[in-house]
Amino acid sequence: MREARYYIADGGVVSCELCPHRCQIKDGSVGVCKVRRNIGSKLFAESYGQLSSIAFDPIEKKPLRRFHPGSRILSVGSYGCNMRCSFCQNHLISQSKPKTEHYTPEKLLGLALSTHRNLGVAFTYNEPLIGFEYLLDCAKLLKSENLKVVVVTNGLISKQPLEELLPLVDAFNIDVKAFSPGFYARHGGDLETVRRNVKRAAESAHVEVTALIIPGQNDSEEEMSALSEWLAGVSPELPLHITRFFPRYKLTDAPPTPTDTIYRLADIARRRLKFVCGR
C-alpha cells in the first residue's frame, strides 16, 4: 500500500480524481474500484504491488496482433475494477479480492529481465489503470531497461493521469464494450471518456481495440457499423478484435455468441477498417 496520486482532500472526505467516477470517499471507505481507500483524509492505493496473476503469454493473447507478432510477454494482474460489468470474464479478480503476492517494481523488473526472450510486461487481467501508481513506477523501470510496456484496459481514466502515463506505454488494447452510452451507464462506465482516450492513446502509442459481442445487447449490425466508422475516423489501420461472449459472472442465462454473428460483424467492420480479427 502507498499513498495515491490524483485526489483532493476536503475535511474527512477525499475526492479521487483518477477516473470519471470522481468518487467521494469517506474515512475508512473505498471507491468504486475497491482498491483506493481513504485513511485519515489521505487516499491510499491498497493494491500497490499486490499481484494475483502472473503468466508468460504470446503477445497475440492480449490481444495484440500487429505489435511485435510472434513474441511473448510477461503478463501480470492485480485485483479490482472501476466498472461493474455483469458479463465480466475475469470477475474472480476484478470484482473480489483473491490471494495475492507482493511484488515491488524492482522485483517485477527482475522477473521481466530474467524471463527468456521476454518482450516486456503487459498489465492485464483486472483493470490495471486503477493501480495507476504501481503501473507508473513499474513502467519507468521497465523503460529504463528497454523493455516494452503494454496496458490492457477498459480505457476509463481521467485526462491528466493518462497524459502522465502515455510517454511510458508502448501499446494499449482498449476494450470498447459497446457503442452505446446507455450500455456503459448500466455497467458503471462512460463511453465518451473511452472514445476520447482511444483517440488520444492512438496519437502516442500502438493501439488495438477489442469488442466483446453479447447476444441481444451489443450485437446489431447498426452498432458495429457505427463503431467501425468511428474507429476508421481515428485511423483505418487501427486493429479491431471482435470476440465471443461466454456465460460468466451474473450473466449466465445468455447463450455464447454464435460464430456466425462474429463473422457477420467482422465483415461489416472490414468495410472501413483494414485489420479486423473475428474469433
Mean pLDDT, the chain, rounded, equals 97
Model confidence over 46-66: pLDDT tens digits? 999 999 999 999 999 999 999
- DSSP annotation of 43 reads E
Model confidence over 168-198: pLDDT tens digits? 999 999 999 999 999 999 999 999 999 999 9
Angle between helices 105-114 and 132-144 (to 10 degrees): 40
10 Å Cβ neighbour count for 121? Answer: 26
Q: Which helix (H) or strand (E) holds 47?
A: none
Would you place residue 239 in the very low, low, confident or very high pLDDT band (cuts 50, 70, 90)?
very high
Which residues lie closer than 8 Å to 202 by C-beta, 6 or more apart? 234, 235, 238
Would you place residue 89 in the very low, low, confident or very high pLDDT band (cuts 50, 70, 90)?
confident
- DSSP annotation of 223 reads H
Would you place residue 211 in the very low, low, confident or very high pLDDT band (cuts 50, 70, 90)?
very high
Backbone dihedral angles phi then psi of residue 183, each to the nearest 5 degrees: -60, -45
Does 225 score more than 90 pLDDT? yes
Kindly report the CA angle at 157 between 164 and 98, in degrees rounded to 5? 105
Please give the single-letter amino acid code of residue 99: K
Would you place residue 14 in the very low, low, confident or very high pLDDT band (cuts 50, 70, 90)?
very high
Check residue 38 and give its pLDDT.
98
Backbone dihedral angles phi then psi of residue 275, each to the nearest 5 degrees: -120, 100
Does 11 score more than 90 pLDDT? no
Check residue 73 and give its pLDDT.
98
Nearest one of 205, 179, 201, 202 to 192, comparing CA atoms? 179
Mean pLDDT of 189-209: 98
Model confidence over 95-147: pLDDT tens digits? 989 999 999 999 999 999 999 999 999 999 999 999 999 999 999 999 999 99
Does 279 score more than 90 pLDDT? no
Check residue 254 and give its pLDDT.
87
C-alpha cell of residue 32: 468504486
Does 2 score more than 90 pLDDT? yes
